[in-house]
Structure 1
Amino acid sequence: MTLERNLKAEAGAEAGTETKPETETDGKKVFIIGPGFIGWNILELLVDQGYQVTALTRRAEHASGITQSGARALMGTLDDLELITSQAASSDITIQCATGDNLALAQAILDGARRRAQQGKNTIYIHTSGAKVFDDGAKGMFRSDRIYHDDWRDEMDSVPDHAPHRDVDLALTRAQEEDLLRDHLRLAIVLPPEVYGYDAKHGRLSMMIPNLTRFALRHGHPPVIGAGRAVETQVHYRDLVRGYVAVLHFLEHATPEAVRENPYWLCENGEEFSWMEAATVIGDSLCKAGKIADPTPKQPPRELYKELCGERTESYMGLNCRAKAVRLRQLGWEPTEKGIWESYLEDELPVILSENENGKEG
């Protein structure tokens, strides 16, 4: 069953209603910020369901593809805050998939929601944060026993204010309680874990595992931080895309009280991997392909962190991120795609090796 048909079959159950006719979405305007690996696929599903979609892009070639997908391309960057505020103010729904760390961008979207609220209009705002917010400082040295559950808000709010993405998440939850927005803002904060998969239609790879693979190709060994004992949850991008749309349908149909009760949504497939496991799979696969001589994972020197995750390398490649998407499963969502290493070996690695042979990186 295709992603589109899967979604249509599940939409009614996920929203807690009968499957809604497509005419119900006619006239609903969606603004997508970050029409890339995740956002472009959300865009196409929503166009298929009858929404009027506008997507912000800074590249002409992407604008052409967005138009071909049935949406309107709006040329601009994340720094064009007044443009973003204006478009958010004219949109029923804003979905931000570009970054979890741009506070000014989040405030610009909220300003658009405030303009709508002054006119008595509601706004659905789906913000992309990330499960890196659960960083526990492990730096690869231990496996944590702590598992977060998104149906328990107190547990989700227990992460420290200085955690990655947390400053933006807190700004959004505080805005949700403003007198002006309280009855007019329907907020969801989605926290994806490690996202994997190859989007062949748009020629897009996931980020982290391919980046570690390219590092190994350049330096002759796969990188690992510390002992590589920390573990993280995972999700295939197509399962994640269906999760976003399930959240959207919930926000459309739930009571205001149910929406305000808990803004947090996790999305994971029930499996975990350790960072040593990731480095080992990468090393073994590249050695088997004849691309490196020694598959042994090694700690990279600090001066090479800029090729990985910069100043956040020890955090992003060394944290424990164990979490359960209880709420999506309560809506009827279930993961259906292949696992992370099957996807890597069958779909992502061949693309990365082809890039390498052609002298270019994605």
Structure 2
Amino acid sequence: MSTKPTIFLTGATGRSSPIAAESATLTPTIGGTILQRLLSHQKADSFDITALARDPRKVELLKALDVKAIIGSHSDIDKLEDLAAEAAIVITAAGLSADCDDVLAAEAILRGQKTRYYKTGEAPILIHTSGTGVLADNALGMYSTDVVYSDLDIPLIETLKPSQPHRPVDILVSQAGIEGYVRTHIVLPSTIYGIAQGRLFDQGISNPYSVQVPALIIGGWNRGQGGMIGQGKNIWSCIHIDEIGDLYMVIFDALLSGQDIPNGREGFYFGESDHYLIYDLAKEISVALKELGHSKTDEPEPFTDEDRVKYLDGRYVLAGNSRCRADRARSLGWISSKTKKDLLANIRPELKALLASGRIKA
């Protein structure tokens, strides 16, 4: 029996998702990216990895990579609690809001970590994935905001209403860290873009796509014209999938080396490299659609309520403002170099990849 510490990871493979999700920062891409980084980590021989997967085929593929893969999901409350109790580090990277906002699942994981604390006398670690959808307002594409949240400004973060997306679980996790039986670190990615690369994605184990950007691409393609909610005057922050993967590893490496980095009430880490206007994203999608002869105009058109139901799964994709600065993340030595130009340059390759994958029909 192995005596190495165990890392328990959720969201490694993702699951079938709707076309869109309002806080699509929470994507299957993240879990696969984290797992790939852990498998190639320079100290990978010093820890074991346990991961949940719904698909028996993926369980076998993960086992071939020396991952202790177990069939299960966030609905398996007892299993979550038991696996969390066995792990020195838990990383939650669930792909959909239905999972990452699951209070019962979060409570089960925390119960397991509390059990471990009482058994060992040492506080285990939780790296929880939230998202900057928690910051979103109700602009509906009609206006921008000058409000920019810093992950160093905890009092401002604590003004967020409990009714905000992700906030109930964020509060649970933060409070657990304050109580001291677990060290908690909440990562909040903004709009993720880019197609994840590597063997987990090549083998079909993990989903290489994010949600927000593909949602607008797919919605525009199916409608035959690019668009956005309202006039697209609202602003979001963004982050490339590789750079958010870097952030998780900066946090992980600091913890693995025994550093006492901010946790609990202070343990918020935004994933942000730049800010972008939603209209500019919709415009770039519209231009790409016209270039492929799939739209008569390169000007984006607002999705009507009927369009939203028909083409965006009824959701308000990127409808509000969500602006942040990753000041605490950068204070750990995390570096981001990509800008909104990289986000916009990603549209054409992402569209072509979605066509090649069959997620949209030519």
TM-score higher than 0.5: yes
Change (3 A) 1:306 1:33: farther
How big is the shift at 1:113?
0.7
How big is the shift at 1:309?
5.5
Q: Please list the CA deviations of residues 8-42 of structure 1 after superposition, one character each: whole Å capped at 9, or x if unmatched.
A: xxxxxxxxxxxxxxxxxx81210100004111221
Change (3 A) 1:219 1:292: same
**Structure 1 partner of 2:327:** 326
Letter in 2 for 1:290: G
Q: Which runs of 5+ in 1 are unaligned?
A: 1-25
Equivalent pair of 1:43/1:71 in contact (CA under 8 Å):
no
Change (3 A) 1:358 1:259: closer
How big is the shift at 1:311?
5.6
Classify the secondary structure of the residue corresponding to 1:176: helix
Q: Please list the CA deviations of residues 157-183 of structure 1 after superposition, one character each: whole Å capped at 9, or x if unmatched.
A: 1212211111111122222233xxx1x
The whole-number CA distance in structure 1 between the counterparts of 2:292 and 2:214 is 15
Q: Please list the CA deviations of residues 40-89 of structure 1 after superposition, one character each: whole Å capped at 9, or x if unmatched.
A: 22112223331311111101232233234432211111100101110010
Classify the secondary structure of the residue corresponding to 1:299: coil
Letter in 1 for 2:57: E
Q: Percent identity?
A: 26
1:30 aligns to 2:22 (yes or no):
no
**Structure 1 partner of 2:355:** 353
How big is the shift at 1:324?
0.5
1:242 aligns to 2:246 (yes or no):
yes
The whole-number CA distance in structure 1 between the counterparts of 2:89 and 2:312 is 31
Following TM superposition, the consecutive aligned residue runs of length 4 or more in structure 1 with deviations greater than 6 angstroms are none
Among 44, 53, 61, the alignment partner of 2:57 is 61
Equivalent pair of 2:136/2:320 in contact (CA under 8 Å):
yes
1:189 aligns to 2:186 (yes or no):
yes
Matches within 5 A, 1:73-152: 73-98=69-94, 99-119=99-119, 120-152=121-153
Classify the secondary structure of the residue corresponding to 1:284: helix
Among 254, 259, 284, the alignment partner of 1:254 is 259
**Structure 2 partner of 1:174:** 175
Equivalent pair of 1:251/1:259 in contact (CA under 8 Å):
no
- Scaled by the length of structure 1, what TM-score is found? 0.84
Among 231, 237, 249, the alignment partner of 1:227 is 231
**Structure 1 partner of 2:346:** 343
Range moving further from structure 2, 231-240 or 328-337: 328-337
Among 262, 277, 281, the alignment partner of 1:274 is 277
Equivalent pair of 1:44/1:70 in contact (CA under 8 Å):
no
Letter in 1 for 2:345: E
The whole-number CA distance in structure 1 between the counterparts of 2:313 and 2:356 is 26
The whole-number CA distance in structure 1 between the counterparts of 2:291 and 2:268 is 42
Q: Please list the CA deviations of residues 173-227 of structure 1 after superposition, one character each: whole Å capped at 9, or x if unmatched.
A: 222233xxx1x31101111100011124305122111121111111111121111
How big is the shift at 1:337?
5.1
Equivalent pair of 1:232/1:321 in contact (CA under 8 Å):
yes
The whole-number CA distance in structure 2 between the counterparts of 1:103 and 1:312 is 22
How big is the shift at 1:342?
2.0
**Structure 2 partner of 1:41:** 33
The whole-number CA distance in structure 2 between the counterparts of 1:70 and 1:343 is 33
Q: Which runs of 5+ in 2 are unaligned?
A: 14-28, 203-207
**Structure 2 partner of 1:15:** none
Equivalent pair of 1:100/1:130 in contact (CA under 8 Å):
no
The whole-number CA distance in structure 1 between the counterparts of 2:73 and 2:359 is 33
Change (3 A) 1:64 1:305: farther
How big is the shift at 1:344?
2.5
Letter in 2 for 1:40: G
Classify the secondary structure of the residue corresponding to 1:198: coil
Letter in 2 for 1:101: D
Change (3 A) 1:139 1:332: same
Range moving further from structure 2, 197-206 or 119-128: 197-206
Equivalent pair of 2:219/2:312 in contact (CA under 8 Å):
no
The whole-number CA distance in structure 2 between the counterparts of 1:343 and 1:60 is 33
**Structure 2 partner of 1:301:** 304
Equivalent pair of 1:148/1:324 in contact (CA under 8 Å):
yes
Letter in 2 for 1:149: S
Equivalent pair of 1:156/1:264 in contact (CA under 8 Å):
no
Classify the secondary structure of the residue corresponding to 2:178: coil
Classify the secondary structure of the residue corresponding to 1:95: strand
Equivalent pair of 2:130/2:186 in contact (CA under 8 Å):
yes
The whole-number CA distance in structure 1 between the counterparts of 2:156 and 2:255 is 22
Letter in 2 for 1:102: D
Equivalent pair of 1:186/1:251 in contact (CA under 8 Å):
no
Change (3 A) 1:324 1:80: same
How big is the shift at 1:336?
4.3
The whole-number CA distance in structure 1 between the counterparts of 2:275 and 2:338 is 15
**Structure 1 partner of 2:19:** none
Equivalent pair of 1:143/1:320 in contact (CA under 8 Å):
yes
Range moving further from structure 2, 240-249 or 329-338: 329-338
